[in-house]
Amino acid sequence: MATGVPYGAVFILVGLCGVALGATSLMRSIRARRWPFVIGQVIEAKVVQHASGEANIDTHVLYRYDVGGSTYRSDRRDFGWRPRPTSVMQPHVSDKRPDLQNELRRHFPARGAVRVYVNPGDPSDSVLDTGLAPLAFAFLGFGVAFVWLGARLIFGM
């Protein structure tokens, strides 16, 4: 067995995962553009920090909306990848970026109205922004590059 085969296989596997993540995100964004929308209400909007360091600062918007007599809550702003808090990684409100907090409050004021795009087949599936997430393109691009590198390692192309 050539020495590049195990490494190439790992590169291809990682690349395929990246392609799958990026393509899924892009396809969901495109499909959501055809979903009907309802007017929802912002419950809270805050800047959170998932760990120490400026790079781990993110925004969190929680909103509610009504469909067919039922009330739903969600925090999905777009179909890009965002870390979800776990019991080990509880985010806390950050005071490191007051400019970001002010901008967030301007776009998503508490109890403010928001347009919520709702999946007609599953009303619990919703999103605020149906735009294409730049991170999805990054996953797709890096995924293709990793598959290409893996193939070069295996086949010596």
Q: Note the pTM of the prediction, 2 decimals.
A: 0.75
The tokens of 12 are what? 């291809």
Summarize the confidence of residues 35-50 as an average pLDDT: 88
- The widest CA-to-CA distance across the chain, in whole angstroms, is 63
* Residue 19 to residue 137: CA distance in whole angstroms: 9
pLDDT at 109: 87
pLDDT at 55: 58
Please, what is the Cα angle at 131 between 75 and 103, to 5 degrees? 60
Specify which residues 59 forms β-bridges with: 47
Q: What are the tens digits of pLDDT across the range 50-88?
A: 665 555 677 788 999 999 999 999 999 888 765 544 433
Q: What Cα–Cα distance (Å) separates residue 125 from each residue in 64, 66, 81, 85?
A: 12, 12, 16, 19
pLDDT at 144: 95
* Residue 101 to residue 26: CA distance in whole angstroms: 28
Q: What are the tens digits of pLDDT across the range 6-29?
A: 889 999 999 999 999 999 989 999
Tell whether the torsion through CA atoms of 29, 113, 59 and 91 is positive or negative: negative
* Residue 12 to residue 156: CA distance in whole angstroms: 14
